[in-house]
Amino acid sequence: MSQKEESVSLETLVSLAKRRGFVFPASGIYGGIFGFYDYGPYGAQMARNLKDAWWDAFVRSVPNIHGLDSAIIQNPKLWEASGHVAGFNDPMVECKECHARHRVDHLVGKEMDNLVDYTSLLKEVKCTVCGKIGQYGEVKTFNMMFKTSIGATEDSESIAYLRPETAGGIFANFDQVLETTRAKLPFGIAQIGKAFRNEISPREFLFRVREFEQMEIEYFVHPEDAEKELENWKQIAWDWLKVVGLNEDNLEWHQHDDAEKAHYAADSWDINYAYPFGSKELWGIANRTDYDLKAHSEGSGKDLTYFDTVKNEHITPYVIEPSIGVSRLILAALHSAYTEEEVKGEKRVVLKLAKGISPVDVAILPLSKKPELQKVAHEIYAKLVSDTDLTVEYDETQSIGKRYRRQDEIGTPKCITVDFETLEDQAVTIRDRDTMEQKRVKVEALTAALQA
Ligand code: ATP
């Protein structure tokens, strides 16, 4: 659905995601827990498809990008060196009237260099929960890292952190990846994994959560190439979002100004997506200079330089970091795919997800539960599962109309109906999700037809 058309509401997406088994509130039977979500059968598969698409595009098919899977809990010194222990803070404030806690930069709509500037701006600002203007307590900063402790005792020595981003583990493995792969600049290290942030006000469904997955690349380059490589990565990222089905009309660039940019970053850009609640960051792409490698070199005492054989000297590479969150991508993909159509006077909801991203590729639907139809349908299911990479679902409950509607709502591109004629002519009907066209195909030609 184009942003220029009437945009789908967040409530509609939340309700579809729950009703159709994409996303559930975590521990829903206990009333849920703020900022955490569970992925149901279709959400888990869709997330896996997106992660596989990313890994295929940026690791498996790129000779100079190497995969990594580092531990979630690292030596706390890593987060001291990266600046997260001292500086991973967001300004927050409490409304005196209703006690809602807010991130101040979100309330005032911009980032400021200091807390005093925030305090004066807040005098004019309405609480988004109770509507009172300017009734706020003191602006405080709050570290967003989740703490845990290692071992049997809980004291300052045993403190550890759940990683707030996957990048730390990449920098800490820079020298080992370099040594084991014999990489030459430019080269990247990529990983997909969980990150945890104790967000002050998680909200907007999957957009701001406290546990999420990141897909991050640290792309190490010669310092003089950093600007050019940043431009290159901006283009690559934008193009990939189209491949996984995001509506380009809903994408826009946002360049960080000095107040917003991390002090060490030379240049930072976000690809924003026009979510139902506004245009917000989906994918951050930054030139982080040599800050991280130098900081970890200093923190660990380990030499994290690269020997430049042309210049015949050790240099500290610059790094370009494209970093995207899986849950924000899922939300954008659902939003781009959601379509309502009128068919014969009735509303049809269909998720026009991109090829390979929808949780189910093919649904096998025997017209009735008669054993002779079940037998053929099961045989087709088994053949497709063994001969192709397609994700196949078998469904024989409810009327065929309801089953089509269900498959449309989870975005299944093709449905195969096995009917009584199949027993005579060894052919089945393939129904296309987007055009709803039906065509008859011989069972023996089915695999080829589905892979075309
Ligand atoms: P924001 O300004 O929205 O808090 P950020 O600039 O702190 O985001 P980064 O640190 O750049 O985010 O993280 C890289 C990516 O990780 C983001 O572009 C986003 O896709 C994802 N991400 C970050 N925080 C969250 C979160 N709380 N929930 C879901 N995804 C997140």
Mutate to test the pocket of ligand 1, among 34, 37, 79, 328 (most ligand atoms within 8 A of CB): 328
- For residue 186, say if its preceding peptide bond is cis, omega within 30 degrees of 0: yes
Which residue blocks in 160-318 are alpha helix, DSSP H? 167-172, 174-181, 226-243, 291-300
SS3 346: strand
Residue with CA nearest ligand 1 atom 22:
325
Mutate to test the pocket of ligand 1, among 102, 251, 323, 327 (most ligand atoms within 8 A of CB): 323
In this structure, what are the phi and psi dihedrals at residue 110, rounded to the nearest 5 degrees?
-160, 165
371: tokens are 């054993």
* Residue-by-residue pLDDT tens, the chain, 452 positions: 444 456 799 999 999 999 999 999 999 999 999 999 999 999 999 999 999 999 999 999 999 999 999 999 999 999 999 999 987 777 888 888 887 888 888 888 877 766 677 888 888 899 988 888 988 988 888 888 999 999 888 777 889 999 999 999 999 999 999 999 999 999 999 999 999 999 888 889 999 999 999 999 999 999 999 999 999 999 999 999 999 999 999 999 999 998 788 888 999 999 999 999 999 999 999 999 999 999 999 999 999 999 999 889 999 999 999 999 999 999 999 999 999 999 999 999 999 999 999 999 999 999 999 999 999 999 999 999 999 999 999 999 999 999 999 999 999 999 999 999 999 999 999 999 999 999 999 999 999 999 87
Which residues' Cβ are closer than 6 Å to ligand 1? 165, 197, 199, 208-209, 212, 214, 281-284, 323-325, 327-328
Over the stretch 151-206, which tens digit does the pLDDT of each residue have? 888 777 889 999 999 999 999 999 999 999 999 999 999 999 999 999 888 889 99
Measured in whole angstroms, how far is the alpha carbon of residue 196 from the centre of its chain?
14
β-partners of residue 319 are 220
Residue 226 C-alpha to ligand 1 middle, in angstroms?
23
User: 């240049």: which residue's tokens?
Assistant: 267
Burial class (CB in 10 A: 0-12, 13-18, 19+), 263: exposed
pTM metric for this prediction: 0.92
Residue 133 C-alpha to ligand 1 middle, in angstroms?
28
CB-based contact 244:329 (threshold 8 Å): yes
Cα–Cα distance list, 388 to 42, 237, 364, 385, 413 (Å) = 19, 29, 14, 6, 15
SS3 15: helix
Measured in whole angstroms, how far is the alpha carbon of residue 9 from the centre of its chain?
19
